[in-house]
């Protein structure tokens, strides 16, 4: 068992109505200039409640420009805006891209080191601005993790990981996710499910995280299809939000593995949304990993609803079938070919994926370029020649 370090927000408020608690809490804090990062639909949804803060003497500058996965150039632009505004506090209200940007903006305010310095040596000083994260999707778990993902100048995803990125407070209000479209609900939910699966089957899995990871698998496996069918099902939304948060807690101490590593080239080369990339690869990476972590994948299968009887490998493989059934029932593609990705790209994608050793080192089974090609080929529903 390796030593782990767990960094979580000092305050977590969970459940319907949590956003109203943020509105009630913030005026009690000694901060008067709030830089708010969100997206336009959410900004319109919360505008009336934000006036409560303004009436309490708090100046708010709202930025709604983060739409896709953020690049460092996008971040620098927002950072400059926050500095010019004189922000003493930052809030991210949105999906993972919004929250990741808010986290890095807050940590970089009043910090003269470059992004290159931070990537190499981390942050040299404590974050001083207050930081709150409020998710409007159930997928990344960024509201409780020390991780933030950005695109560098070469188009490669880069993870910034630091205790300085952990919010002071997370307000997880499932009611804010009611308007998320069905396919986005499905893709982000599968991303959250993958966080939990990869944490539990990780080479560096830890008993403290195992409890959260397995419960996250159980909750998302049980409720994702319900939320997909009926986006206004608040119980389903609440349970998925909880499972997503559990996965986010696991990200810092344990992190993800090969599913995420192999998903990155799909986003970089073909601009496939992150959650969809995860969904396309999850069952095939699981199948590859079973020989090296059979018992743990059997546990995953049981958490998903497989019967706990018979051979462990058979139980584990039943879990893969349950994943495939869930993907189909949520309207997600079953193979890479359905997204017009050319099969000829397999070799290039594999070469790119094996460079992401910060994640592959966590995988229970070593993956080389040939292995990656095999997994991608099977995700095309074809056999590597």
Same domain, 281 and 297: yes
Same domain, 163 and 37: yes
Same domain, 154 and 70: yes
Same domain, 191 and 156: no
Q: Which residues contact 275 (CB under 8 A, 6 or more apart)?
A: 139, 184, 186, 187, 188, 189, 190, 191
Q: Tell whether 164 is covered by a domain.
A: yes
Same domain, 156 and 242: no
Same domain, 289 and 195: yes
**pLDDT score at 296:** 98
Q: Tell whether 369 is covered by a domain.
A: yes
Count of domains forming the chain: 2
Q: Tell whether 34 is covered by a domain.
A: yes
The 3-state secondary structure of 322-376 reads HHHHHHHHCCCCCCHHHHCCCHHHHHHHHHHHCCCHHHHCCCCCCCCHHHHHHHH
Cβ pair 365, 288 in contact under 8 A: yes
**pLDDT score at 229:** 98
**pLDDT score at 383:** 60
Decide which of 147, 177, 207 is a domain's last residue: 177
CATH of the domain at 206: 1.20.1090.10
Same domain, 128 and 220: no
**pLDDT score at 121:** 86
Same domain, 195 and 293: yes
Same domain, 162 and 210: no
**pLDDT score at 218:** 98
Q: Tell whether 83 is covered by a domain.
A: yes
Same domain, 165 and 187: no
Measured CA to CA, the distance from residue 211 to residue 129 in angstroms comes to 33
Q: Tell whether 385 is covered by a domain.
A: no
Q: Look up the domain containing 276 and give its range.
A: 182-379
Same domain, 189 and 51: no
Q: Is 9 helix (H, G, I), strand (E, B) or coil?
A: coil
Q: Tell whether 5 is covered by a domain.
A: no
Per-residue pLDDT of the chain (385 residues; tens, 9 = 90+): 778 889 999 999 999 999 999 999 999 999 999 999 999 999 999 999 999 999 999 999 999 999 888 889 889 999 999 999 999 999 999 999 999 999 999 999 988 888 888 988 888 789 999 999 999 999 999 999 999 999 888 888 888 999 999 999 999 999 999 989 999 999 999 999 999 999 999 999 999 999 999 999 999 999 999 999 999 999 999 999 999 999 999 998 999 999 999 999 998 889 899 999 999 999 999 999 999 999 999 999 999 999 999 999 999 999 999 999 999 999 999 889 899 899 999 999 999 999 999 999 999 999 999 999 999 999 998 765 5
Decide which of 131, 159, 177 is a domain's last residue: 177
Sign of the torsion angle spanned by Cα atoms 324, 328, 331, 334: positive
E strand or H helix at 40: helix 40-55
Q: Which residues contact 46 (CB under 8 A, 6 or more apart)?
A: 19, 38, 93
β-pairing, 169-172 vs 11-14, is: parallel
CATH of the domain at 32: 3.40.50.1970
β-pairing, 89-94 vs 33-37, is: parallel
Same domain, 167 and 60: yes
Cβ pair 194, 327 in contact under 8 A: no
Report the predicted TM-score, pTM, of the whole model to 2 decimal places: 0.95
Q: Tell whether 6 is covered by a domain.
A: no
Q: Tell whether 307 is covered by a domain.
A: yes
Decide which of 162, 177, 192 is a domain's last residue: 177
Q: Is 160 helix (H, G, I), strand (E, B) or coil?
A: strand
């Amino acid at each position: 068992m390796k030593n782990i370090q767990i960094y979580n927000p000092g305050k977590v408020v969970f459940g319907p109505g949590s956003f109203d608690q943020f509105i009630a809490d913030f005026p009690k804090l000694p901060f008067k200039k709030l830089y708010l990062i969100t997206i336009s639909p959410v900004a319109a949804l919360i505008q009336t409640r934000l006036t409560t803060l303004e009436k309490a003497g708090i100046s708010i500058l709202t930025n709604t420009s983060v739409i896709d996965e953020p690049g460092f150039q996008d971040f620098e632009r927002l950072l400059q805006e926050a500095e010019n505004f004189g922000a003493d506090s930052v809030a991210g209200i949105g999906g993972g891209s919004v929250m990741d940007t808010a986290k890095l903006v807050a940590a970089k305010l009043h910090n003269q080191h470059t992004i290159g310095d931070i990537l190499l040596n981390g942050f040299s000083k404590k974050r001083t601005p207050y930081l709150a994260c409020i998710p409007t999707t159930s997928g990344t778990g960024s509201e409780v993790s020390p991780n933030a993902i950005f695109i560098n100048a070469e188009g490669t995803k880069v993870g910034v990981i630091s205790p300085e990125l952990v919010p002071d407070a997370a307000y997880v209000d499932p009611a804010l996710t009611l308007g998320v479209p069905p396919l986005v609900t499905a893709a982000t939910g599968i991303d959250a499910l993958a966080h939990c699966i990869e944490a539990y089957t990780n080479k560096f899995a830890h008993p403290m995280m195992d409890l959260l990871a397995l419960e996250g698998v159980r909750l998302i496996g049980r409720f994702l299809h319900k939320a997909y069918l009926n986006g206004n099902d608040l119980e389903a939304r609440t349970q998925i939000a909880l499972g997503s948060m559990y996965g986010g807690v696991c990200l810092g101490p344990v992190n993800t593995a090969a599913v995420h590593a192999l998903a990155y080239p799909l986003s970089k080369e073909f601009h496939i949304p992150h959650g969809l990339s995860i969904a396309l690869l999850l069952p095939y990476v699981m199948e590859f990993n079973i020989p090296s972590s059979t018992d743990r994948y059997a546990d995953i299968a049981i958490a998903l609803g497989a019967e706990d009887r018979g051979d462990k490998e058979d139980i584990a493989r039943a879990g893969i079938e349950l994943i495939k059934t869930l993907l189909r029932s949520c309207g997600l593609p079953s193979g890479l070919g359905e997204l017009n990705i050319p099969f000829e790209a397999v070799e290039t994608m594999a070469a790119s994926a094996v460079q992401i050793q910060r994640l592959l080192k966590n995988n229970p089974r070593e993956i080389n370029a040939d292995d990656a090609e095999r997994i991608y080929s099977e995700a095309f529903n074809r056999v590597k020649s």
